[in-house]
Structures are given as structure tokens and as C-alpha cells.
Amino acid sequence: MKSWICATLLSLTLVASSQAAIDTYEFASEAERQRYRSLVEELRCPKCQNQNIADSDAPIAMDLRAQIYRMLEEGQSNEQIVDFLVSRYGDFVLYKPPVTARTLLLWYGPALFLGAGFVLLGVIVLRRRGKPGTAASGLSAEEQQRLAALLKQSSVDNKD
Amino acid sequence: MKRLILLLPLAVFLGVAVFLYRGLFMDPSELPSALIGKPFPAFSLPSLDDPERTLSEADLKGRPALVNVWATWCPSCRHEHPVLNQLAERGVLIHGVNYKDERGAAQKWLRELHNPYQLNIEDARGSLGLDLGVYGAPETFFIDARGIIRHKFVGTIDERIWREQLAPIYQSLVDEATP
């Protein structure tokens, strides 16, 4: 038990110490800083693929942060910076991929499946509603008649 | 018709299973290069063997070649090096990009481990590496005689990978260049 607690605490400190590399970049304005932050947070590190380049400690992420900073200083727009990286590393570096023929399913697949689900639900509901009586007792008209006859007979029998 | 609907979940399951099974054999760390079909990026960098000499993308044209991105700080490059030596001996043209390395260490490495590279570009600041979309050494680009990047291999080239995957690509580039 004790060792478990130790291990948990230890792993927590590891998590804390492995957080975000901190660069000391100077920005002309707060708006510039915001642009830098939003860029490094929405671009993906090509080496450690489940991190953005803001969080990654990989040398390549460090280089890319420096490159983005340099381009911001030069007055380039967000689009120019993103295009620069995409032309070298591909759409892969975007956490938000562009809508192309290849990514159509990715973008609209969920809506498609949701729509298909609603259509299916609608069809099932309408079908059930279309056949009154059947859903309640599950008997056909012929069987209904037989049931009525049987009930009548039993009530006659009971009188005796 | 009713029967067929009962089979629907099975069909969906099979579809998902095939999809996931395929996923088992895909390597997520292998990125398709954005540079395939594009010319080798322009650069002007010193030669590692002779720092007085400046190399540019024009020096890479003329014959199909491998451009191998390497560094002395990269352990996999050490594993790969003997394979590159063998390939060079067999007549494969290999150029090197010494990526973010120290000149002294790199020159020592080549003296001690043999130099398989025809030209060696010294990319100390990693600027060419950035233009090539390099995200970790070793990476190997295949360029044709016109200097167009035709293929990229990320990771260590070994005998088997060369034989099964890469030799045919190199051969096709050579065949293309010899009419």
C-alpha cells in the first residue's frame, strides 16, 4: 500500500516536471504574444505526435518555435507561417486539417452517422405507428375473433 | 429481407475489424513527406570536407542519389553507417547532410568510420533540415537526376530494408536516367 502511494506521488512529480518547455521570447505587444501562443498550440510536433509544439521538448519543436518567433518578428501573417510549415511537414502538422477530398469523411463523418441514425429511428417509429393493434397484442384480425369467441364461451361455461 | 437485417451487425463488425486490423500494421511515426515530387530546396552551405567550398542544390543534380541526413549525436546513424559504406562500395551515389552537428566531431567520425558520402553538406544550424522537413535523423531522401525529391525514408536503413524497399526505388531512378 505504502509503495503504491509513493509511486503515485512520484509519478505526479514527474508529470509536473515534464510540462511545457519555457522559452524566453520577448514580444512587442500582448497581441503578438497571443498570436505566438495560439500558433504553437494549434501546430503539432512532427516528432512527438501527440503533443503540440508548445508542449514538446523535442529539439525539432524547439527549432519550430524559434522559426515561428522569427517569422512573427518579420511581420508575417499566421497564414504565411502555417503555409511555411505545411509545405515542409505536410498537413500532418495541423491539428485542424483543411477540408479536402481526403478529409471529407473526417469532417462530416460524424454528422453523417448521426443523420443516418435519426433516419433509421424515424423509419422504425413510423413502421410501428403504421400498424395499430399489432404492437399492443400481437394478434391478427382472425386471432382477435377467435379470442373473442373463446372469452364468450368461457363466460358461458362459468354460468353453470 | 428480415434475415438480411439480422446480419447487419455482423457486417458492421467485420468492416470495423478489417479497418482496425489494417491499422495494426501501419506505422504512425512514418509521415508522408510533403516534398515528394518537388525540387530539392535551395541552399548555400559549406562542404564538410572542405569548409572553404560552398555547395548548393545545383551540385546535387546530374545523377540519381541518396541524400542522407545524419549527425554524430544520433545513435541510429552509427548503426546505419556501415550499411551506407557498403552501398557506396557497390556504386550507390550518396550525399550527406550533416545536421546540427559539430564540424570537428563530424570530420573525426568520417575519418574513423569511413566516408561513404560523395558530397557532405554542413548544415550546422539546421536550416536545410528545416526546409527538408526533417524531424529526426537519420532520414534519407531519394533524388533523381534533375534534383527532384522522389522518395523519403525515415529511420535506419539496414540490409533488409534496402533490399526489399529501397533498392527497387533507387534502381528505377537509375533506369530513368539512362535512356
Spell out the domains of chain B, with CATH numbers in brackets. Answer: 34-177 (3.40.30.10)
Query: Which among A89, A92, A123 is the top mutation candidate for probing chain B, defined by the most B β-carbons within 10 Å of its own β-carbon?
Result: A89
A2-93: CATH class: mainly alpha
Residues 6 or more apart whose Cβ sits within 8 Å of residue B125: B100
Residue of B nearest to A84 (CA): B131
Tell the residue number behind the cell numbers 552509427, with chain if given. Answer: B78
Taking CA–CA distances from B32, the nearest residue in chain A reads A90
Other beta carbons within 10 angstroms of residue A55's beta carbon come to 16
Per-residue pLDDT of chain A (160 residues; tens, 9 = 90+): 566 665 655 555 554 444 455 667 888 888 889 999 999 998 988 888 788 888 888 888 988 999 999 999 998 999 999 999 999 988 888 888 888 888 888 899 999 999 999 999 999 999 888 765 554 566 778 888 888 888 888 877 766 5
Q: Residues near A23 by Cβ (< 8 Å), separated by ≥ 6?
A: A62, A65, A66, A69
Buried b (16+ CB within 10 A) or exposed e, A8-29: eeeeeeeeeeeeeeeeeeeeee
ipTM above 0.85, yes or no: no
Q: What is the pLDDT of residues B111-154, one digit of tens each?
A: 999 999 999 999 999 899 999 999 888 999 999 999 999 999 98
Return the percentage of chain B with pLDDT > 90, whole number.
77
Predicted local distance difference test score (pLDDT) of residue A17: 44
